[in-house]
Structure formats: structure tokens, C-alpha cells
Copies of this chain bind each other. A is one copy, B any other.
Amino acid sequence: MPDLSVLQYDLVANLMSFCIAVMGAGAVFLFFARANVAPRYRPALLVSALVPAIACYHYARIAGSWAAAYVFQDGSYVASGVPFNDAYRYADWLITVPLLIIELIAVCALSKALAKSLTLRLSIAAALMIVLGYPGEIATSSGPAWLWWGLAMIPFLYILKVLFGEFGTALERQPERARPLIAKARTLILITWSFYPIAYLAPYMGLSGAAGEVGLQVGYTIADITAKVGLGLYIYFIARAKSEADNWDVSLTSDVDASHSRELVGAAE
């Protein structure tokens, strides 16, 4: 690990802590927002809540590993000798990236056969993308790094091809008010996910040392927040739009617990 100034070390440590807070809050919001959408969209919101919950756990681990990897010495931060464990990011992505795909497909409530086929193919491709990326991440020379990068790009391009091809066609049958939201959610995936393969190559494109390490950690953290909580919020807005299109009224079951007491009151009247 390269030596860091106090400003550099703190930027990463504070952003990781910020990320823990945003992921935790996002998970709780999405979890309880299930009550505001029709029952058929609730499993999609449940998965959307699990993703930042899992990331919150992993960022607690990542922040702990960052703190253990450095010691404060003579006005700056130097490597403590304990290796920084970046593999927590890959463990997180291996679970959450397939789940992000699953939440987007689930909220669309496509036909059973199409939903099953898309979920299976895209979640396997997503997992494969992460698994193939890891050997390149821990590679110490540019040859294997580029090789594994190239291999991981194959499932990534396949995911984009399906999302903008087959899945795009299926969108035409979605309610009018949900369609632009789904298209935006897909664009969010395209933009945020494209950040990772670029960041991955940064050390081999001249960005190394302290600036490279800080840039990488900052970039991954911002991309994770946007890809997970950002997409989760889109899933929520899509579910709301579709619930309205289904003529489902939030006051029918406005809240999981409130509905219980309201109906009891109704029964007593």
C-alpha cells in the first residue's frame, strides 16, 4: 500500500463511512417502502433492499480493513504491513450484481417463461463477470490483468446486449408511465457498471501510487452507491407507477401494520 497524506487517507475512510450510512438507510427505506406498492411488486423491492443491506455489511468490513492497513506516523499514513483486503468488494459484487439484475426483471412482472429465462441467463452472466474479473484484480503484471479484463468483458457485453435487445422489446408491453423509468434504470446500469472495467485498468494506464489507490477506492465507492441505492430507488418508482397503472390504491394497504389497526377499528365501528 502506498504512503498517503492525512487528506488522502481521510477522504477514503470518510467516504467508506458515508457509504455504510447511505447503504444502511437505503436498505431500510426500500424494505418498508414495500407497503406502498401492490403486492406483486413487493418481492422486487425486497431484493432491492437486500442489495444495499449486503453492501452495508461489506463496507463495514472494507472500512475495517482500510483502517488496519495503515498506521499514522510522523504526520502521514504509512502501510501497517497488514494487507488491505479488496476481495470484500468481489465477494459483495458476486452476490449483489446478480441480485441487481433480478430486481430489475422482477419489477417488470414479465411473462413467467421470459422472466425465468432472462433471470437465469443474466444472473449467471453477472456472476461469471465478477469471477473472471478477480484473477486480473490480484494480478501483479499487466498481461494477465488485460487477459482477465477481456474475458470478464464478454459476459458484460452479453448482459448489455440482452438488456438493450430482448429485454427492450419486452418493455413495449409495460404500462406507459413505467416505460421511461425502466429505460432510465437500464441507462443507470449501463453508466454505473461501465465505471468498473475502467477503474480496474487505471493502474495499467498510468494512474498508480497514492493518487491511483485513492482514486480507485473513491471511484468504486461512488459507483457502488449509485448502482445499488440509485437503482433501488428507480425500482421503487417503477413499482409505484405500475401499481397505479394496475389501479391499486395505496390506501387499501397503506402500511403493513397500520392496515391491521385500521381494519380492527372498522370492525369495531
A200 in contact (CB, < 8 A):
no
- The answer to whether A87 and B10 have CB atoms under 8 Å apart is yes
C-alpha gap A212/B265 in the complex (Å): 63
> A21: CB under 8 A from chain B?
yes
Q: Mark A44-66, 1 if CB is under 8 A from B, else 0.
A: 00110010011001100100000
**Contact B95 A22, beta carbon cutoff 8 Å:** yes
Contact A259 B253 (CB under 8 A): no
Contact B46 A32 (CB under 8 A): yes
Q: Which of B57, B256, B262 contacts A20 (CB 8 A)?
A: B57
Chain B residues with CB under 8 Å of A35's CB are 39, 42, 255
Chain A, interface residues (CB within 8 Å), range: 35 or more
Most chain B CB neighbours (cut-off 10 Å) among A39, A42, A54: A39
Q: What does the 1/0 interface line of A6-39 toward B look like (CB < 8 Å)?
A: 1000100111011011101100110011011011
Shortest CB-to-CB span from A226 to chain B, Å, is: 14
Whether A137 sits at the interface, judged by CB under 8 Å, is no
Q: Do residues A14 and B88 form an inter-chain contact, with CB atoms below 8 A?
A: yes
Question: A57-B21, A257-B257 known; A83 and B268 CB under 8 Å?
Answer: no
- From known contacts A265-B266, A265-B267, infer whether A46 and B29 are also in contact, taking CB-CB under 8 Å: yes
Tell me the residues in window 227-259 of chain A with beta carbons closer than 8 Å to chain B beta carbons.
250-251, 253-259
Q: Top 8 A-B pairs ranked by shortest CB distance?
A: A267-B268, A39-B254, A260-B261, A18-B91, A261-B263, A14-B87, A258-B259, A265-B267
